[in-house]
Amino acid sequence: MAAKQHWIRFACAIAAATVTIGLSARSAAAAPPTSTSSTSTESPGLAAHEPSTGRFLYAVNQAAATRGSISVYDIGAGHRLVKTIETVRDVDDVKGVAASMVTGRVYVAYRTRSGVGMIYCLNVYDDAVLWNRAIDPDIDRLAIHPGGQFLYVPTWEGGSTDFINVLDANTGDVVRKVHFSNRSHDTLFPVSGPLFQETKAEDGSGKYLYLIDPESYAVSRIGPYAGILGPYAVDGMSRYVANNVTGLWGMQVAELNSGRIVTANLAEHSPGEPGLLHGIGWTPDEREVWQSSSAGDPHVYVWSMRDPMAPVLVERVSMKSGRGAHWLTFDIEGNYAYVAPNKNSDDATEIFDAHTYKSLGLIGSSEDMIEIDFADGKVSRVGDQYGVGRVERTSTN
């Protein structure tokens, strides 16, 4: 309740455009549509569908030969490949992944070769695809309600519609639209809420980060930033958000209660224009923010966030590929950083020790990764495709 009251307070502190339509909750326990079979290829000695106790990284593959399938890695066993789940065909571009601890379902947003926006829903208990359907007018990086009953689906950064869709996560049916800006792209429901949304709109509205109340669907925004926003990451109490910003060598950080925005510049960087540095995440303990660079810069920049409104660059981590990164995230406990290669590249995703910055190895190419943990055969917790902060206590300073 305290977290909810917190984001209601800061949402009211900034300019708001309200969209209010009554909506009754849909039950996630309703009977699902008929399942579509899928195939798992697993390591010897492990049953194809049997969930076990442990921590696992579900990584949606983006390399050309395996795009759309999900490779499952055992985090506690050195990221050993456990199995690869063959899911659906005709995946041209994977756009995002979300999962629910409550329902044990994984959702993957993707576009087909003909440009149709789709989402498939996978049951982690038997690796079956429960449904796979087109979402009108399109999709992008999605988020899920903590209760597992709703999906929040942007309508694509290349589109023109001025809303995101809210879907019944059980069926994929659209249950409402939330209007605010066009070219919606990355959606996030962080630990303390509310729903966050950025767009690629070129009419000026793309320079704002939007906050959506998941109960009233009231929309507020913070900004303007220095340019059109890219990926972003929110801390565990929804007090600060770190942002990639178009045209900036560095990042901007916003304090959500006050609306104040500061800029952290990279004094040394690759030559040329930055374009959009793509990929950013808080370490779960919120001591640092890691930031990808440009497509041609094989480095990840690490900022100390001891004072979130005065970031200090403390490390520059080199990637083995010799090329840039497009996304990054962390395991729930904050021991590993997963740094993805350029979009739809066959280059591997690199694992780093999040404390020492040492490279620990490579897994298959993926930027759409999420941790799913099992205890006694049941999903016990899930991570996030975003690098979100996980500190949920108020500072004692």
Domains and CATH numbers, the chain: 2-23+52-382 (2.130.10.10)
Give pLDDT tens digits for 88-110.
999 999 999 999 999 999 999 99
Q: Which stretch of 56-60, 104-108, 124-128, 390-394 has the lowest confidence by average pLDDT?
A: 390-394
Give pLDDT tens digits for 221-268.
999 999 999 999 999 999 999 999 999 999 999 999 999 999 999 999
The CA distances from residue 272 to 296, 340, 359, in Å, are 10, 22, 27
Q: What is the pLDDT of residue 270?
A: 87
Give me 193's structure tokens. 């809420």
What is the per-residue DSSP string for 173-217?
-EEEEEES-SSEEEEE--TT--EEEEE--TTTGGGSEEEE-TTT-
Give me 111's structure tokens. 């576009």
Contact status, residue 259 vs residue 309, Cβ threshold 8 Å? no
Parallel/antiparallel/unpaired status of strands 312-318 and 325-330: unpaired
Residues 6+ apart with CB under 8 A from 205: 180, 181, 182, 199
CA atoms within 13 Å, Cβ hemisphere of 320: 15
* For residue 379, pLDDT beyond 90: yes
Give me 114's structure tokens. 């003909």
Q: How confident is the model at residue 42 (pLDDT cuts 50, 70, 90)?
A: low
Q: What percent of the chain has pLDDT over 70?
A: 86
250 dihedral zone (left: phi>0; alpha: psi -120 to 50; beta): left
Q: How would you class 174 by CB atoms within 10 Å of its CB: exposed for 0-12, middle for 13-18, buried for 19 or more?
A: middle
Residues 6+ apart with CB under 8 A from 394: 237
For tokens 């979300």, what's the residue? Answer: 98
Give me 30's structure tokens. 């309703």
Residues 6+ apart with CB under 8 A from 199: 154, 157, 181, 182, 183, 184, 185, 205, 206, 210, 229
Q: What is the pLDDT of residue 363?
A: 98
Contact status, residue 371 vs residue 75, Cβ threshold 8 Å? yes
Region 52-66: mean pLDDT is: 96
Give pLDDT tens digits for 149-190.
999 999 999 999 999 999 999 999 999 999 999 999 999 999
Average pLDDT, the chain: 90
The CA distances from residue 32 to 130, 304, 379, in Å, are 7, 45, 19
Residues 6+ apart with CB under 8 A from 37: 128, 129
Q: How confident is the model at residue 19 (pLDDT cuts 50, 70, 90)?
A: very low
Amino acid at 46: L
Q: Is the peptide bond before 284 cis (omega within 30 degrees of 0)?
A: no
Q: How confident is the model at residue 393 (pLDDT cuts 50, 70, 90)?
A: confident
Q: How would you class 22 by CB atoms within 10 Å of its CB: exposed for 0-12, middle for 13-18, buried for 19 or more?
A: exposed
DSSP structural state of residue 9: H
* Residues forming a β-bridge with 133: 119
Region 51-79: mean pLDDT is: 96
- Phi first, then psi, for residue 207 (nearest 5°) are -90, 10
CA dist., res. 227 & res. 62, Å (int): 29
Residues 6+ apart with CB under 8 A from 311: 242, 251, 253, 262, 264, 289, 303, 304, 305
Q: Which stretch of 252-256, 292-296, 365-369 has the lowest confidence by average pLDDT?
A: 292-296
The end-to-end CA distance of the chain, in Å, is 22
For tokens 């309740």, what's the residue? Answer: 1
Q: How confident is the model at residue 125 (pLDDT cuts 50, 70, 90)?
A: very high
CA atoms within 13 Å, Cβ hemisphere of 130: 20
For residue 67, which of 130, 21, 112, 115 has the smallest C-alpha distance? 112
Contact status, residue 321 vs residue 363, Cβ threshold 8 Å? no
* For residue 11, pLDDT beyond 70: no
CA dist., res. 164 & res. 148, Å (int): 18
